[in-house]
Amino acid sequence: MNRGEMLRRDLEERLRLALGVRIAVEMVGPGELVPLTGHGTRAKLKRTTRPSRKGEHMRKLALSLLVLFVALSLLALGSYPQGVGPAPAEAQVKATVLKGQASFPPTSLLFTNFKVFADRVEKMSAGRLKIETLPPGAVVGAFEVADATNRGVLDVAHTCTYYFIGKHKAAALFTDVPGGPFGMDVIDFWGWEYEGGGVELLNEFYQKILNMKIVAFPIFPTTAQSLGWFKKPLKSIADFKGLKYRVPGLAAEVYKEIGVSVVTLPGGEVLPALERGVLDATEWYTPGEDIQLGFHNVQKYYYYPGVHETAGACDLLVNKDVWDKLPADLQSIMRGAAFEAAMRSLLQFNRADAEALRDFKDKHKVNLVKTPDDILIEYLKAWDKIAERESAKDAFFKRVYDSQRAYAALVVPSRVFMNPYDLVRKHYFGK
């Protein structure tokens, strides 16, 4: 008995058991009925005897449900008789594979976000679309992924837009905006992205301001960060000035404004620079990320919070030519997978941060110190000056900055009004 005959008999028996009537299934050639996706086999009903009036209803039901039953039977590979299985490999849809690279080291939770995204894309597309998740340097340097994506050297980049501040100052407004912006937390900022026009402005930035063939959308939520890691205590802004301090983006210019000597390095180079004394201090990200990179093994003073990066997003960049060739369903899958990966990362970071702070204190004897208010206030004042200056020089910068201000003015007061977070925290856990 060949494969087709075994499949036909199997379908007949399934339908008989399910519907209580005997139905003959005839396997026919291409073009006679609408093909079932992914298979070259088609099927039609053939009535063996004229049904009684009593059986007419069941016959109609069988007719209406046949295609569904056939599809399910073809997909239920594990229940096929031995020797019956999926169509030969050459008949399967060939997977589209996109070359992707991150700007973040493989040890970071940011890189994990990229891996989660790629995994979800593959599963949601049933293997039709796969994303390579290469580490920094695999194809290009960490800060070169946008240019590489624009040129088609990469299909996909996983990065933070503020790494490209050298191209345009507005780049900083899409990742971690100094000062909040305007008191927004990460949920507020993503609200601005999706409900306040941020995603549209992000794509306008890449496509019209930078003239790049890039489609961009948020993939990673950046939450409130620490001031960072220091060799010795900071009592005031005076102790901070003159230090060689690693910080990226527009925040670097703000720190320069208040007298800090800033250095911009990719994440994978920061720890070695601390060990060699090239840096006196560094920020990186949140406690859960910092502990993965081992900063606590070199510096023992950890200052929290900072206001240079309090809320934002890192982005997925896709070459526009590649994007436009993808079917609409795969485009939707990529957007949906990015949003899911973002939520998973936010939840992971919330827990990882709490566990890291506990371990810093109890296991690694790190000094957890509140940042002096004068450092934070001095920073905000310097940022306000720079933002005003950049808004006056560039219309697009002003549009984005004003858009964020308008959204923050709406949501921040309401969030503070509605959320008794601090009161409840004090009630249960004290100061």
- pLDDT tens sequence across 299-339: 999 999 888 888 889 999 999 999 999 999 999 999 999 99
Other beta carbons less than 10 A from residue 68's beta carbon: 9
pLDDT of the residue at 7: 55
Res 75 pLDDT > 70: no
User: Mean pLDDT for the chain?
Assistant: 82
The residue from 90, 105, 139 where one domain ends is 90
Res 205 pLDDT > 50: yes
pLDDT of the residue at 35: 38
Do 199 and 326 lie in one domain? The reply is yes
The residue from 90, 123, 142 where one domain ends is 90
Res 194 pLDDT > 70: yes
Res 367 pLDDT > 70: yes
> Which range marks the domain in which residue 169 is found?
93-431
Domain count of the chain? 2
Question: Tokens 């901070």, residue?
Answer: 240
pLDDT of the residue at 395: 97
pLDDT of the residue at 6: 61
Q: What's 151's domain CATH number?
A: 3.40.190.170
Query: Between these two residues, 30 and 424, which has the higher pLDDT value?
Result: 424
pLDDT of the residue at 3: 55
Res 158 pLDDT > 70: yes
pLDDT of the residue at 390: 94
The residue from 64, 90, 116 where one domain ends is 90
Mean pLDDT of 20-38: 45
pLDDT of the residue at 289: 81
pLDDT of the residue at 37: 38
Res 397 pLDDT > 70: yes
Res 422 pLDDT > 50: yes
pLDDT of the residue at 10: 61
pLDDT of the residue at 9: 66
Res 341 pLDDT > 60: yes
Res 55 pLDDT > 60: no
Res 22 pLDDT > 80: no
Burial degree of 106 (CB within 10 A; 0-12, 13-18, 19+)? middle
- DSSP sequence for 316-374: EEEEHHHHHHS-HHHHHHHHHHHHHHHHHHHHHHHHHHHHHHHHHHHTS--EEEEPPHH
Do 411 and 322 lie in one domain? The reply is yes
Q: Report phi then psi at 246, rounded to 5.
A: -85, 125
Q: In angstroms, what CA-CA distances link 130 with 25, 120, 328, 333?
A: 37, 9, 16, 11
Res 45 pLDDT > 90: no
Do 256 and 187 lie in one domain? The reply is yes
Q: Are 400 and 170 in contact (CB under 8 A)?
A: yes
Q: From the CA atom positions of the chain, what is the Rg in Å?
A: 29
Of 74-88, 118-132, 161-175, least confident by mean pLDDT is 74-88
Do 33 and 134 lie in one domain? The reply is no
Q: In what order do the strands lie in the sheet with 100-102?
A: 100-102, 156-159, 312-319, 214-222
Do 40 and 68 lie in one domain? The reply is yes
Cα 88 from Cα 38, distance rounded (Å): 10
Q: How confident is the model at residue 108 (pLDDT cuts 50, 70, 90)?
A: confident
Q: Are 127 and 166 in contact (CB under 8 A)?
A: no
pLDDT of the residue at 8: 58
CA 223: distance to chain centroid?
13
Cα 262 from Cα 252, distance rounded (Å): 6
Res 36 pLDDT > 80: no
Of 259-273, 344-358, 380-394, least confident by mean pLDDT is 259-273
Q: How confident is the model at residue 74 (pLDDT cuts 50, 70, 90)?
A: very low
Do 219 and 278 lie in one domain? The reply is yes
Q: Is the peptide bond before 35 cis (omega within 30 degrees of 0)?
A: no
CA 191: distance to chain centroid?
15
Do 111 and 47 lie in one domain? The reply is no
Of 3-17, 47-61, 296-310, least confident by mean pLDDT is 47-61
Mean pLDDT of 187-204: 96
Mean pLDDT of 40-67: 48
Do 103 and 160 lie in one domain? The reply is yes
pLDDT of the residue at 292: 83
> What percentage of the chain exceeds 70 in pLDDT?
78
Do 43 and 105 lie in one domain? The reply is no
Do 172 and 23 lie in one domain? The reply is no
pLDDT of the residue at 57: 54
Do 108 and 253 lie in one domain? The reply is yes
pLDDT of the residue at 49: 46
Res 64 pLDDT > 60: no
Q: Are 23 and 45 in contact (CB under 8 A)?
A: yes
pLDDT of the residue at 420: 82
Do 416 and 279 lie in one domain? The reply is yes
